[in-house]
Amino acid sequence: MLKNPQPERPVFALLRNAAHFFFIKLIQLCIAQYALSEKFSLLRRENELYKVLSILKKTR
């Protein structure tokens, strides 16, 4: 993420393990700043996979 060829634009990443998803946003100004999303889970009663897919669709 730190090797972004366009440092003026934010970079997004998706971290996941078997059942949980997190989104990370990196803003590179003078100092790199990270923002972490809430945890999305497949194990909750309401499956949050559709929320994750909705976020991914918006970041295109």
Contacts of residue 29, defined as CB under 8 A and 6 or more positions apart, other chains included, come to: none
**What single-letter DSSP state applies at residue 3?**
T
The model's pLDDT over 1-13, given as tens digits with 9 standing for 90+, comes to 778 888 888 899 9
The model's pLDDT over 22-43, given as tens digits with 9 standing for 90+, comes to 999 999 888 889 999 999 988 8
Contacts of residue 12, defined as CB under 8 A and 6 or more positions apart, other chains included, come to: 23, 24, 25, 26, 59
Q: What is the pTM of this model?
A: 0.70
